[in-house]
Amino acid sequence: MRKVLIACLAVLLSACGDDLRPSNIDQPDAEVVIPPDAEIIPPDAMICPARDFGEIGGPCDSDDDCGARPDSRCYFGSLGNVLFAPEGYCMDDNFTLALGTCATDGDCATGTVCTEWLDFAGYKSCMPSCSCEDNTCPENQACLDSWTADNSRLDRAVCVPGNSSSVDGAACVGFYACNEASSCFNDIEFPGGECEQYGCTVGTDSTCNGGHCIVDPDPPVTATTTCVDTCSGNGDCRTAEGYVCFDPDGAGTAPNYCRHPHVGDACATAAGCGGGLWECKTGAFTGGYCTMTGCPTPGSSEGCTDGSICYDDPIDATNYCVDRCTGAAQGTCRTGYLCSDTDPSGTTALGCVTP
């Protein structure tokens, strides 16, 4: 959709592209025709400028850019399974101080406010305020009252990594592209990434970001519930990336939701698992079994997905990924499979395997 800027600030006339020399002032204005499909947006709502390099909430390349306190940090790139925005995000902290780096807003620099981390025994630090028009924040940030990466609660809304316009099921690269209390799941089971709010309340979809709250059968985080994108047919899903409208109970009694095939799903062909690196094991595998082969370490997720684990099958010569599970005997596995230990080192790591 074309966007039309409806005003230019007087102090920035030179940037508007008009020739305002005296010879032109008395000329009649040309008629401006606004297309009927144009989105009319005020200039202040367009972009909230990024903070200066190295400032709290500003871009950075390394921890040294963000101040001299012992725990000052540049959140940049990948930290474990969490991917931050490419420009980085500065935090100025000192965890050796039990009460943090500030007591009141007056202890913080202009544009930042003293914010309490409610899950950390009253620890406070200076955080970037939501100071732009309509409480907006710079690109890849949102005005939220939680630290989105792990849903740590804050006592006020500040500019943190996130996207307040994102919804459950939206594509993503990192969690900063998702809404509050959301993860960006981005592996071969979630091609193109998928935003899901976690820790929702089943039966209360208002605790989601536009999605439907379910008990997560394969929780990659400590929460056991997550929000999914409901659908009535494949056309409601990102079919180009392999997502289909999934019937979770096979009977049509529970709401369907968009889902890419996962390790352990039933299949007839590799294409039914997503193609590419996916394989469909048949024969002794009841109903077929979506998997990937060649993972290096049994009992580990290395070479598999967050929701699966590597298994050294005593019959099959090649290691392959199996669905994680809980419980004894069949446990949470589908019919025809047992929930068994896959880790030969002695550490229990349960996966759905053939009897």
HSE-CB at 25 with a 13 A cutoff on CA atoms is: 2
Which pTM does this prediction carry? 0.76
Q: Supply the pLDDT for residue 222.
A: 53
Mean pLDDT, residues 183-205 = 92
Mean pLDDT, residues 16-23 = 34
Q: Supply the pLDDT for residue 234.
A: 94
Mean pLDDT, residues 244-258 = 87
Q: For residue 89, what pLDDT band results from cuts at 50, 70 and 90?
A: very high
Residue percentage of the chain with pLDDT more than 90: 61
C-alpha 78: how far from its chain's center?
A: 13
Contacts of 345 (CB under 8 A, 6+ apart): 299
Mean pLDDT, residues 47-54 = 90
65-77: b (≥16 Cβ within 10 Å) or e: bbbebebbbbbbe
Q: For residue 146, what pLDDT band results from cuts at 50, 70 and 90?
A: confident
Identify which has the larger pLDDT, 2 or 209.
209
Check pLDDT > 70 for residue 28.
no
Check pLDDT > 80 for residue 262.
yes
Mean pLDDT, residues 292-301 = 94
pLDDT tens digit sequence for 207-245: 999 999 998 876 554 558 999 999 999 999 999 999 999
Q: For residue 165, what pLDDT band results from cuts at 50, 70 and 90?
A: very high
Q: For residue 279, what pLDDT band results from cuts at 50, 70 and 90?
A: very high
pLDDT tens digit sequence for 61-79: 999 999 888 888 999 888 8
Q: Tell me which range, 120-124, 149-153, 164-168, is most confidently predicted by mean pLDDT.
A: 164-168
Identify which has the larger pLDDT, 177 or 149.
177
Average model confidence (pLDDT) for the chain?
Answer: 84
Q: Supply the pLDDT for residue 248.
A: 87
Q: Supply the pLDDT for residue 297.
A: 94
Mean pLDDT, residues 282-301 = 95
HSE-CB at 148 with a 13 A cutoff on CA atoms is: 33
- Cα–Cα–Cα angle for 328, 329, 332, rounded to 5 degrees: 70
Reduced to 3 states (helix: H, G, I; strand: E, B; else coil), residue 271 is helix
With beta carbons less than 8 A apart as the criterion, state whether 350 and 324 touch: yes
With beta carbons less than 8 A apart as the criterion, state whether 331 and 289 touch: no
Q: Supply the pLDDT for residue 324.
A: 92
pLDDT tens digit sequence for 312-327: 998 888 999 999 998 8
With beta carbons less than 8 A apart as the criterion, state whether 147 and 181 touch: no
DSSP letter, residue 38: P
Q: Supply the pLDDT for residue 61.
A: 94
With beta carbons less than 8 A apart as the criterion, state whether 340 and 299 touch: no
Check pLDDT > 70 for residue 42.
no
Reduced to 3 states (helix: H, G, I; strand: E, B; else coil), residue 352 is strand
DSSP 173-198: SSGGGS-TTEEEE-STTSTT-EEEEB
Parse the chain into domains and list their residue ranges: 3-45, 195-259, 261-355
Q: For residue 8, what pLDDT band results from cuts at 50, 70 and 90?
A: very low
Check pLDDT > 60 for residue 25.
no
